[in-house]
Structure 1
Amino acid sequence: MDAYREQDQAGPPPPPGGGEPWGAETAWGDAVLDAVFTQSDIGVHVLDTELRIVRVNAVVAGIHGIPADRVLGMPAVEAYAAYAGVRIDDAVLREVLATGRSAADLLVAGHSPGVEHTEHVYSASAHRLQDSRGRVLGVVITSTDVTDRERAQDRLRLLHDAHERIGTGLDVERTARELVDVTVPEFAASVVVALTDAVFRGQDPALQSRDTVPLLRCAATGRTEHGPEVPEAGAVLLPGIFGDRLPTAEGPFPPAAPGAGPATRLVVPLTVRGQIFGAVAFQRLDDAEPYGTEDRALADALASRTANCLENALRFTREHIVMTALQSWPQPREEAAQSAVDVARRHRPGGSGAGSWCDVIPLPGARVALVVGQVESPGPGAVATMSRLRTAVHSLTTLDLDPHELLARLHATTLRLAAEGDGTTGIRTAAPPAPAGVPEAAPLLDAGAAATGPRLAPAAPAAPHPTAGCTIAVHDPVDGRLDIAGAGASLLVVVHPDGTADSRPLDDGPLLGGEGPPFACATLFLPEGSTLCLASAGEGPRAEDLMAALAHPERDPEAMADDVERLLAPDRVLLLARTRHLPPGELAEWDVPYDLSAVGTARAHVEDRLRRWKHPADPFTVTLVVSELVTNALRYGAAPVTLRLIADGPSLTCEVTDAGQAAPHLRHAKAVDEGGRGLLICASLADNWGVRYTDEGKTVWAELGGDGA
C-alpha cells in the first residue's frame, strides 16, 4: 500500500487549465485512507491477488478481535477461520478477482475469541482493486456487524412460524407438542411444557392465586441431541423444574434450577385473563448465549399464543360435550312405548355440530311420528337451535296436527328464534394474537409488552337466521296410512315388502325459517312390513348404492341400517322404520247408529270385548268413558259415528269418530246443571284425552291405563 501511495505522490504534472495541483488530491486521498483505517466503524480488509491479507483497519483489529500483526500475509480463509471462527467462501473472492463484479451483502457468522458461545453475524461486500492503468491489485472487503438486525428478523420469523404451526388442532396435548416443535432447536436446547391437572381433564383453569400452587403435569417435551435432560410425559412437575411456585406477572422468570446458568433458562406462564393453563420452561446449553431482554419478550409472546390456543381447545371440548349431550338420542327403552314400527337409528358424528336429529314419538291410537331434521350452518348455535326445535316438535305432536300443519307451526317457531337472535348485540371479546408481519407484532418483542392486557376485537357480526330441514311421517298401524310432510331436502325412501322402492315419495319443499308454507305433503297406504328410510340433509349417497343397501327388505332393520350408514357423510342421522299393522286381537270397531238409544249397545259391546280380551282395564271406568264420548258425538256431532277400541299392551284407547267439525271443549258445569260434564268425566278418569281432525270429521279419544285409572 505504501508503494501505491509513493506512486500517487510522484504523479503526473499539474492538470492543464488550472485547478488544484495533483499534490492536493494526494493529500485528500491520504486523509480518506486514514479515516477509513483509523476512524470508520466499518471493517476494511485488503487482500492481494493471492487472497492474502495485506492490511486491516482498526475495527477489524479491535472490535472483531483479529490480531493484525499475526494475520498480515496469511491467506484470508485460514486467518479468519482461526481467529474469528468465520468461514470465507474462497470461490466468491476469486470470482470477484476474475470478473470485477462486486459481491454485496454476503452474510457470514463467527464468534469473538474467548466467547465462543456468542455468535455474531456480519454483512460483507467484496470489490476488486485495480490501478489507473487497469492492473488488478487485489480485493477489498468491507464488513458490518448486523447481529442485532438478524436476531430481530429471526425472532420475527420464529413468531410467525408459531402463529402458523401452533393451534392447528383442538387438542391441548397436541397444542403443547406444537410449541415444542416450533422452539427446538431454534430457541432452546430443551423445552418442557406443563399443564395444570384441570386442563388435562378438560376443565376450566383456575384463576391465578398467590397462595395456592396447582398441580402441573408434563404435557410435551423436546431436546436437542446434547440438550438438558427432560422429564417424561405425564410426570408431576411441582415442586421440580418450575420451582416451588408458578411464575406470575410480577415475576415471570424465577431463579434458574441448580446447575444451570442464571440466564440460560426461562420459565414463562401460560395464562389468559388471569386463568393459568400451565407453564413452559426454555433452556439453552450452559455455554450458550444467555437469554436477553428481547428473548424474554419473544418467550412471552410464544406463551401467549399457546395459551390462547389452549383456551380455544378447552372451549371446543366443552362445546363438543354440550353438543353431544344435546344431540344424544333417547335410550331404546323409551321406544318401547310404541309398537307401530321396528326402528333402527344411526348417527355419524363429525365434530362440527351439524344440529341433526331424529325422533320416534308415540301418538294416541297406537300411531307413531317419525321425525328427521337438520339445522343449517353447523356449529354450537345450530345444536342449540336443534334442541329447541326438537322440543317444539314434541310439544306440537300433542295437538294431533297433520304433518304439514305441524311443519307450519314449527316454521313459526323458527322465525321466532330468528327474531330473538336479531335482538342480540355483538359481544366484544379478547382478540387472538396478530400474526407476525403486522404492526402489532413488533410490540410483542418489546420487554414491556408482557404487561399489556388482551386487546378488544370489534363486535362480531350477527349470526345468520336459523333455517332447518325437517321431514315428519305419521304412521297409523290400524290401516297402514302414512301421512308425510317435508321442509327442505331430506332423504326419504319407501321400500315395499316385495322389494320395490319409491325413492321420491315426496317433493322437496321450502326450509323452516325460509319461504314458509305450503310444505310438500303426501298420503300413502303401506302394507305391513314396508320399510321407511329417512336421513337428514347432506351429500349423497348415489341412488344405485342406496337401492342396493335397501334391497332384500326381509332383512332386519339393524342390518339394513348398517349398510346405509356406510354411505352417509359425517354429521348425518339415519332412521329406518319397519311398519306393523295391529293384529285383530288388539282392535275392535263398531258403527254406532245415530240415535241416543245406541249408547247402551255401545257399552255392551265394550264390556263384552274387554271380557274376551281379558284386559286389565276396569270395565266400569271404560264403559263410563265410552258412554260419555258416544253421547257427545250423537248430540253435537254428525253421522256416521264409529266407536273403536285399541288395546296397546296394558293401556287402552277409546276413539269415537263422527263427521262433525264442531270442536268439543271442556266445561265446568254448575251444581244445578243437567249436562256439560261429559268431557270433565273423561278428563278425570282417563290418563289423557284429545281431539284430532281429518277431512271427513273429527276423532275424540281417551287413553286409560291398565289399572283402570
Structure 2
Amino acid sequence: MAHNEAISPVEDAAVLEALFHQSPTGLLILDTELRILRSNFTSPILHEAPPEQIIGRHFTDVYDLSAPGEVKAMVGGVLESGAPARGRLVGVRPKGAPGPEYLFSVSVSRLEDPQGRILGVLAEMLDVTEREKARVRLRVLGSVREHVGRTLDVVVTCEELVREVVPDFADIAVVEVVDSVLRGEDPPLSPLGRQAPLRRVAFGHSGGQEQIQAHPVGDVRALPFPTPYAQTLADLKPRLIALGPDTPWLAADHPRAEAIRASGAHSLITAPLTLRGTVLGLLSLYRTDQADLYNEDDVTVAIAVAAHTVLCIDNARRYTREHTIASTIQRHVLPPCPAKQSTVETAHLHVPSEGGGGGGYDTFALSGARTALVVGEVADQGIHAATTLGQIRTVIRSLAALELEPDELLARLNDTAIRLAQERAALSPGDRVPLRGSCVYAVYDPLAQTCTIALAGHPPPVMAHPDGRTEIPELPSGPPLGSVEGPPFAATTIPVTDGSVLAFYTASLLHTSPSPDTLQRVLAHPDRPMQDLCDDVLYHLQNDTRRSEVILLLARTHAFPADQAAAWHLDDHPKAVATARTRAQHKLTLWGVDEETAYTTELIVSELVTNAVRYGTPPLRLQLIKDRTLTCEVQDGNPVAPRLRHAKTVDEGGRGLFIVTQLAQNWGVRYSLDGKTVWAEQILPSLTSSAETPRNDQILWAGTTGA
C-alpha cells in the first residue's frame, strides 16, 4: 500500500481495537462533558471496576486524582483550544480505594470528526509509577549526600538525615545513636550488648505535630529484645518488615507497638549505622497507610543513606573526641586555686567557638605588690591550640620569674614562638600547623599607680576612668608572635587612677560587636560590678560567635594603702645597716608583726643592705611592703646582679644571699633604667594556711580551647 493511499474504515477500526485491547498505554475516550465513553483494560488500575460501572460516568467520579482541579482544567483547556497536553504527571487510584496512588504520565488530545465538530478528548495514560519511584530514590540519595554532614555535630547530622528522607522516602524516620558515641568515645564492636544504651537523637514524620512517638528525642534506653531493632545491631544486617496487628515481636516493645498502631505504619526498614565492624547507631524508616510497602530496592537505598550518614557521624565523633581531649588538657593546665590580688579586681568573659579557640588570659602576682595582666591567642584550634597554650603558659611563668619588662618579655616569648614554629616545620605534613598569635602583656604597679603595656600584634586595651570617660591609649604595636621580621617590641607606661577599669580583649570581640565602640559604651559606668560589665558586653554581641572565640579580661585598679608600705633613703656607709634595721624594726612593730617574723625580716634587711653598701652604688633605698606577703626591697644604682655563693668554712663572706634564700619564701632581682632592686618575700603567719597565699610562680592561666 502506498503512503498516499487512504486507510479504509475497516483498517481504522482494526487499529482502534488493537490500541484498546493490546497497547500497554491506558486509553480513555471522554465526551465533551468529560464522561467516559470507552476505556482499555490493560492497566490494572484502569479496569478495577467492570465496564458497565465506568461507561457514562464523569472521570472524577471513577478515579481519585492527586489534583482533580488541575486535571479538569487541563482537559477543559484541550477541549477549548485544541492544543494537546503532553506528559503531565497525575496520581490516580480507584475511587475510594485504600493504598498508594499510581503515577501516570497523561497526554490529552482533542477528538474531531471530518467536519471539525468536537467529539471529546483522548487521554493516553502511561504507568510510570516504578520509574518515578526510582527517580525519587535517586533524588533522596543525592540530597542526603549533599546536605547531610555539613557540620561536625552528631545530633545535627542525624537531624539533617531525617529532614532529607521525610516525606519523600519515609513517612516516619528515627535515628538512635550509641550514647557513648555522642561523647566522642570509640564505638563498640558488634554484636551490641543487649543493655547498651542508645540515645534517640532525631525523629521526623510527615503528619502533624501530634504524631505519637514511642520515646521522646533525648531519651536513653537499651533496645528491647527480641525485636528487629536489636537483631539489626547484632548481625549488622538490615531488616525489611511488614507490620500488622499480629506482628509477634511487637509484644516485646509495647511503647513502639502503640506508636506504630497509632501512626498506621505498615512497612519498616531498619538499617545499622555501622563502620568497620563497629556499631554507631540505628536508622528506622516507616511507611504508613498512604504509601507503598517498602521493597528490596528501598532497602538498597536505605543502606546507601546509612553508609553516608555513618561516615559523617564518625567524623563528628572524632571531632568531639578531639574537642574533649583539648578541654581536658586545658583543665589540667589551670591551677586549682588562683590567687586574688588586693589592688586589682578582675573578671573575665569567654565565649568559645565551635572549633575550640586558641585564646587565653593570665593574671598573676609580681614582686613589689605588682600584678601582671595578659591576654593572647594563637591561630590553632583543638588539640594543637591546647598544647601550644600549655607551652606558652610555661614560657610566661619562666619569663615572669626573671622580672622582665613587658617589651623584653614579649621579645623572648616571640623567640620561643619562632623556635616552636621551626620544630613544627620538621614534623610530618599533617602536623605542620603554622604558629602565629598575638598577645598583650601589662604590669600594674599600685605603689606608683601606673600600668606598663606592651603589644604583640594585639589590639590595645580600653581604659575607663572613674568619672565615666573612656579612651584607647595610643600604644605602639609590635609584630605578631612567631614573626621573624618586624619592628621591635615597645613598652608604654600610662598613669592609672584609683578605680579605673582596664579592658583587655581579643580582636574577635570587635568583629562580633555591632559597632567598634560597643565596649567603650558598656565601660562608661565603671563603678558597676565587674561581672555585670562582662555580662553586658556579652549581651551586646550580635554577630555569629560560633566561629570566633571571644575573650575579655577586665581589671579594676586600686592604689596600695599608704600605711602598708614604708620607704627610706640610706647613706652609702656601713652604718646604714644598723639604721635600716632600726627603722624596719620600728615599722614592723607598728604593723603588729609577730616577733619571729620581725626578727627574720631584720636579718634579711641586714644582709640585703650590707650587699648594697659593699657592692652597689648610690643611691640606696629600703622599702617594706605589707600585703598578703611581707616584702623587703633594697634598691641601688648598680645594674650588676648579685651572685648566690656557697661560702667555704674558712671564708669570711659570701653567705649573704644564701642566708636570704633560707629565710625568705621567695627572692629575686628586678632591673630598671637607674639600677636594680633586690627583693625577698616572707609568708605572714596569719596567711600561712590560706588557700589564697600568693607565690611568684602561682599564675592563673585560663587557656580557652573550647569546652
Q: 1:591-610 to 2 correspondence within 5 Å? A: 591-596=569-574, 598-610=576-588
Q: Secondary structure at the match of 1:533?
A: strand
Query: Residue 86 of structure 2 aligns with which residue?
Result: 104
1:335 aligns with 2:335: no
Report the equivalent of 2:75. Answer: 93
Structure 1 position 406 matched with structure 2 position 389? no
Go from structure 1 to structure 2 and tell me whether the alpha carbon gap of 1:21 and 1:122 turns closer, same or farther (over 3 Å shift).
closer
Which residue of 483, 486, 494 maps to 2:463?
494
Corresponding residue for 1:471?
Answer: 440
Q: Give the structure 1 partner of residue 239 of structure 2.
A: 253
Residue by residue over 1:312-352, the C-alpha shift from the partner in whole angstroms, topping out at 9 and shown as x without a partner, is: 5555655565666667797896233x323233333345655
Rg bigger for which structure? 1
Q: Which runs of 5+ in 1 are unaligned?
A: 1-13, 428-460
1:215 aligns with 2:193: no
Alignment partner, residue 128 of structure 2: 146
* CA-to-aligned-CA distance 1:632-679 (integer Å, 9 cap, x gap): 334443322323222223x33222222222233334455555544443
1:356 pairs, out of 343, 354, 359, with 359
Give the drift of 1:164. Answer: 6.6
The whole-number CA distance in structure 1 between the counterparts of 2:320 and 2:16 is: 70
Match for 2:339: what amino acid?
Answer: E
Secondary structure of the residue aligned to 1:271 is strand
**Displacement, 1:152?**
1.8
Give the AA of the match of 2:84.
S
TM-score (norm 2): 0.77
Whole-angstrom distance in 2 between the partners of 1:499 and 1:24: 103
Contact 1:44–1:143 (CA<8 Å) still a contact in 2? yes
Relative distance call for 1:24 and 1:580 in structure 2 (3 A) is: closer
Q: Do the aligned residues in 1 keep the contact of 2:192 with 2:233 (CA within 8 Å)?
A: no
Cα contact 1:56–1:68 (8 A) shared by 2:
no
What secondary structure does 2:338 align onto?
A: helix
Higher relative contact order (CA closer than 8 Å, sequence separation 6+): 2
Q: 1:292 to 1:500 in 2, by over 3 A?
A: closer
RMSD over aligned CA atoms reads 4.5
Please name the residue that 1:589 is paired with: 567
Which residue in the other structure is 1:279 paired with?
A: 282
| Alignment match, 1:295 | 298
Q: Which residue of 1 aligns with 2:175?
A: 193
Alignment of 1:575-654 (within 5 A): 575-596=553-574, 598-616=576-594, 618-619=597-598, 621-649=600-628, 651-654=629-632
Q: Secondary structure at the match of 1:127?
A: strand
Sequence identity of aligned pairs in percent? 38
- After superposition, where does 1:365-444 map in structure 2 within 5 Å? 365-376=368-379, 381-382=384-385, 385-425=388-428
Name the amino acid aligned to 2:178.
T
Could you tell me how far apart the structure 1 residues matched to 2:168 and 2:586 are?
91
The question of 1:485 aligning with 2:454 is answered yes
Once structures 1 and 2 are overlaid, which stretch shifts more, 677-686 or 148-157? Answer: 677-686
Matched position secondary structure for 1:683: helix
Return the alpha-carbon distance in structure 1 between the equivalents of residues 335 and 49 of structure 2: 86
User: 1:296 Cα deviation (Å)?
Assistant: 1.1
Matched position secondary structure for 2:132: helix
- Which amino acid is the alignment partner of residue 566 of structure 2? A
The verdict on how the C-alpha distance between 1:658 and 1:482 changes in structure 2, with shifts beyond 3 A counting, is: same
Q: C-alpha separation between the residues in 2 aligned to 1:20 and 1:541? A: 80
* TM-aligned CA distance change 1:244 to 1:184, over 3 Å: same
Question: How far apart, CA to CA, are the structure 2 residues paired with 1:215 and 1:527?
Answer: 60
> How many residues get paired?
653
The answer to whether the Cα contact below 8 Å between 1:403 and 1:484 also exists between their aligned partners in 2 is: yes
Aligned to 2:223: 238
Q: Shift of residue 531 of structure 1?
A: 3.2
One-letter code aligned to 1:247: L
Check whether the contact 1:264–1:288 (CA below 8 A) recurs between aligned residues: no
Classify 1:416/1:242 alpha carbon distance in 2 versus 1 (closer, same or farther; 3 Å): farther
Give the whole-Å Cα distance in 2 for the aligned partners of 1:553 and 1:119: 70
Find the residue that maps to 2:414 and give its secondary structure: helix
Secondary structure of the residue aligned to 2:270 is strand
**Deviations, residues 575-614 of structure 1 (Å, cap 9, x unaligned):** 3323333334432333333344544444444444434434
Q: Is the 8 A contact 2:377 2:438 kept in 1?
A: yes
Instruction: State the match for 2:504 in structure 1.
Output: 534
Distance 1:568 1:680, change over 3 A: farther
* 2:660 matched residue in structure 1: 682
Structure 1 residues 356 and 119, CA, compared in 2 at 3 Å: closer, same or farther?
same
CA distance in 2, matches of 1:529, 1:64: 89
- The aligned counterpart of 2:692 is none
Asked if 2 retains the 8 angstrom alpha-carbon contact of 1:327 and 1:356, the reply is no
Aligned ranges 1:92-171 → 2 under 5 Å:
92-111=74-93, 117=99, 119-129=101-111, 139-162=121-144
Aligned equivalents of 2:316, 2:9: Cα separation in 1: 73
* Structure 2 stretches lacking a partner, 5+ long: 249-265, 689-707
Query: Contact 1:341–1:578 (CA<8 Å) still a contact in 2?
Result: yes
SS at match of 1:89: helix
Q: How does 1:648-667 map to 2 (within 5 A)?
A: 648-649=627-628, 651-667=629-645
> 1:372-408 CA distances to partner (integer Å, 9 max, x unpaired)?
2334577665555445434432332111111111111
